[in-house]
Amino acid sequence: MYVAVFAESVGAVAFRPAAQAHVPAVVGTGAALSSANSWNAATDGVVRLVGPLLGGVLLAWAGFEVLVALDVLSYLVSAVAIACTRKRSRSRDARPGLRDGLKALGEFRLARVLLPLSGVFLMANASLSALLVPFGVQRLGGITQVATVLSALGVGFLGGAVLVRWLDRIELRVTLASAQLMTAAGFVVLFSAEGLGVAMAAAVVVGTFGSVTLIAPQTALQRVAPNEVLGRIAAVFLAVAALATLVGAVAGPWLAESVSLRFAAMAAATVTGLGALVGVVTVPPVMLAANAQTNRRPVMREPSEQRRQRILAVIASRGTVKVSDLASELDVSIVTIRRDVEELAKLGKLRRGHGVARSLTPVEQPSSKRETNGAVALVVPERHAYLYETMNGARQALEEAGMRVVLHIAPQVKGAEKPIVERALAEPVQGLLIAPRWRTHEEELKDDWLADTGVPTVLMERRPAGPLRAMNSVCSDHWYGMYMAVKHLTDLGHRRIVLAARDDSPTARALRKAFKEISADLDDAITVGSSPDTGLVGILRAHRATATILHGDVDALMLVQQLTDAGIRVPRRCSVVAYDDVVAALGSIPLTAIAPPKTEVGRAAAQVLLRQLQSPGRSAERVELLPELKVRSSTERLTVS
């Protein structure tokens, strides 16, 4: 029996963090996550209320063996149901280890703050729960009254599971502190009650807001932590919760025996209240809602027109595609894809079928003639909005030339392009257009196999070096783009400029190098990273910068919000230039932006490939297109020192 209980407990402990990581992978991190957690908590509350009663009835009616068999069956049904759920996206990266999980825990301020706060709350809660039985026997009249109060706690827990869904738009620290204070107040009233009615009302309050205190942090962590390490973070929280519960369960009765039961209860309630006050100060100003996070970089929604162009590109290359396959390949919910397909069908751009979308014109399958000529393979990285625009430009040019396009999406893992290109070249293809991800310069040097694909190949938005230097390539002139950004700011009188750029792409590295060269004569020009934990507002203040350039208009829009929150007016106190122009014009303050000619790069790359196909042996071409400066409201002439 001990072995069986131990095994079941191990499974339950392993299940809880895994379930916390699985839920956001299935429902996403939007409003549905709060609903899912609310339903899970409500179901748990119902089971806690009904389970013991049902178990007793089954034990008396059918016997112990049948009861165990039904319990085992329930686990199997649960396992099958979980196996049938479908993740919204599948990570193809290597699975992180425990060390990576602990490292990730340390990287998130929200997790670091919530871990001790959660432990203190659960320790105090365990102390009070342990004192509830002796209190009910001594003050309320007996074990029946204790059971009644416990039932009231269960009812409150159900109420909290519903309530937390409606608190989704309130700051986490406000929700958490308010719920802890209400829980502490409920315990004070409960352990001061002289009658069963007051005790039951207080127990409902404790259950309601105690439930909110447990569910709200879980929802916030599920939204800010990467899904790959969420299970490990949840496991650490579970271990701390178990330790805190053990300490509280021992400390409460010991303090009651050493001093008094009332003193022990008031001390635990006071600790809960103090934890709420500490949380107000230490918990970051994040929202439970998915659209107001600060610990995770928000993911900007892809413009619907761009997404629909991607849908048309896939359908044009294949003829008929399942809607479910489109949702999986484009990493979009099936509801969104269905809506897009309906709109495109109304516009006469495709035909709808039962669960499929079809091209208006039949897509010819490779015939005996095409066995020789083949098609053009187009390879771009997964979830890369910048290069998707380049892809669409290439596709349009190739289709206008009567070429068939076969699209391949490379996942976000190291070395993903090579096996995909090998599979593409196993088919009858004439040429290859590719935009490798190249997170590092070392990755670029290792991809020397691209120089020997056996078919005419053109690199898009990449400036090859080393063994690939003699390859055909078409890209934006990012040095000139940075030159225009810096010149625009210096013409306005700015001499203290900060560039915030990543270093995980060829474009980012080109921008960093160009800025260092172009800004050499400025008073104070530095380059920093653009990750959320860089603290760019503080850096701008420390360097007394009057202007900044950001690689990525999404990051630039976020910075404008952060500067406004910090009391720094844009552009009066700080001018902002975005390098990229996808959503720059949509901000509350439209951003001045450098717009690389992404679509034109794709079209030019396709034209280079067509020339190579028409004239085999032709010399390799390297084409650079100039970006454009679009001046808007986020920059102005410097008027303050």
| pLDDT, tens digit, 9 for 90 and up, residues 558-617 | 999 999 999 999 999 999 999 998 888 888 899 999 999 988 999 999 999 999 888 887
Mean pLDDT of 36-53: 70
- What is the per-residue pLDDT for 50? 72
The token duo for 571 is: 């552009």
Q: What is the DSSP string of 171-206?
A: BHHHHHHHHHHHHHHHHHHHTT-SSHHHHHHHHHHH
Of the candidates 491, 475, 397, the one whose C-alpha atom is nearest the C-alpha of residue 435 is 475
Mean pLDDT of 351-362: 76
The token duo for 479 is: 């040095």
Give me the chain's average pLDDT, please. 80
Mean pLDDT of 323-347: 79
- Cα gap 541→562, rounded to integer Å: 13
- What is the per-residue pLDDT for 561? 92
For the ranges 1-5, 153-157, 584-588, 605-609, which has the lowest average pLDDT? 153-157
Mean pLDDT of 606-634: 90
Of the candidates 221, 243, 362, the one whose C-alpha atom is nearest the C-alpha of residue 296 is 221
- Cα gap 567→284, rounded to integer Å: 18
Burial code (b: 16+ CB inside 10 Å, e: under 16) for 227-240 equals: bbbbbbbbbbbeeb
- Cα gap 43→54, rounded to integer Å: 15
Residue 201 contacts residue 71 (beta carbons within 8 Å): no
Of the candidates 11, 59, 29, 481, the one whose C-alpha atom is nearest the C-alpha of residue 220 is 29
The answer to whether residue 296 scores a pLDDT higher than 70 is no
Among 28-42, 45-59, 264-278, 508-522, top mean pLDDT goes to 508-522
- Cα gap 169→250, rounded to integer Å: 38
Of the candidates 224, 220, 216, 217, the one whose C-alpha atom is nearest the C-alpha of residue 164 is 216
The answer to whether residue 292 scores a pLDDT higher than 60 is no
The answer to whether residue 294 scores a pLDDT higher than 60 is no
- What is the per-residue pLDDT for 370? 36
- What pLDDT band is residue 20 in, cutting at 50, 70 and 90? confident
The SS3 of residue 300 is coil
Name the one residue in this structure whose structure tokens are 């028409």. 614
CA distances from 290 to 280, 293, 300, 560, 614 (A): 20, 6, 12, 20, 52
- What pLDDT band is residue 87 in, cutting at 50, 70 and 90? low
- Ramachandran sector of residue 524 (left: φ over 0; alpha: ψ -120 to 50; beta: rest): beta
Share of the chain above pLDDT 70, in %: 84
Name the one residue in this structure whose structure tokens are 């425990």. 98
- What is the per-residue pLDDT for 385? 66
- What is the per-residue pLDDT for 594? 95
> What separation, in Å, do the N-terminal and C-terminal C-alpha atoms of the chain show?
77
Instruction: Provide the angle, in degrees to the nearest 10, between the axes of the packed helices 385-400 and 304-318.
Output: 40
Determine which helix (DSSP H) or strand (DSSP E) holds 379, and give its type and residue range.
Answer: strand 375-381
Among 138-152, 330-344, 545-559, top mean pLDDT goes to 545-559
Mean pLDDT of 313-331: 76
Mean pLDDT of 484-496: 94
Determine which helix (DSSP H) or strand (DSSP E) holds 624, and give its type and residue range.
Answer: strand 622-625
Hey, which bits of 423-546 come out as E strands?
Answer: 429-434, 457-460, 472-476, 496-500, 524-528
Burial code (b: 16+ CB inside 10 Å, e: under 16) for 96-123 equals: beeeebbebbeebbbbebbbebbbbbbb
Q: Which residue has the higher pLDDT, 202 or 366?
A: 202
Which residues have CB under 8 Å from 448's CB, separation 6+? 466, 467, 468
- What is the per-residue pLDDT for 298? 41
For the ranges 4-13, 104-113, 125-134, which has the lowest average pLDDT? 104-113
Name the one residue in this structure whose structure tokens are 């969104």. 336
Sheet bearing 375-381, strands edge to edge: 405-410, 375-381, 429-434, 457-460, 472-476, 622-625
**CB neighbours of residue 66 within 10 Å:** 12
- What pLDDT band is residue 371 in, cutting at 50, 70 and 90? very low
Instruction: Provide the angle, in degrees to the nearest 10, between the axes of the packed helices 31-62 and 196-224.
Output: 130
- What is the per-residue pLDDT for 512? 92
- What pLDDT band is residue 5 in, cutting at 50, 70 and 90? confident
The SS3 of residue 472 is strand
- What is the per-residue pLDDT for 245? 85
The SS3 of residue 503 is coil
Pairing verdict, β 496-500 and 524-528: parallel
Q: Hey, what long-range contacts does 241-244 have (CB within 8 A, 24 or more apart)?
A: 241/118, 241/119, 241/122, 243/119, 244/118, 244/119, 244/120, 244/122, 244/123, 244/126
The residues with which 407 forms a beta bridge, in sequence order, are: 378
Share of the chain above pLDDT 90, in %: 18
- What pLDDT band is residue 43 in, cutting at 50, 70 and 90? confident
What pTM value is reported for the model? 0.45
Total residues found in the chain within this entry: 641
- What pLDDT band is residue 367 in, cutting at 50, 70 and 90? very low
For the ranges 46-55, 259-268, 597-606, which has the lowest average pLDDT? 46-55
The token duo for 582 is: 């996808």
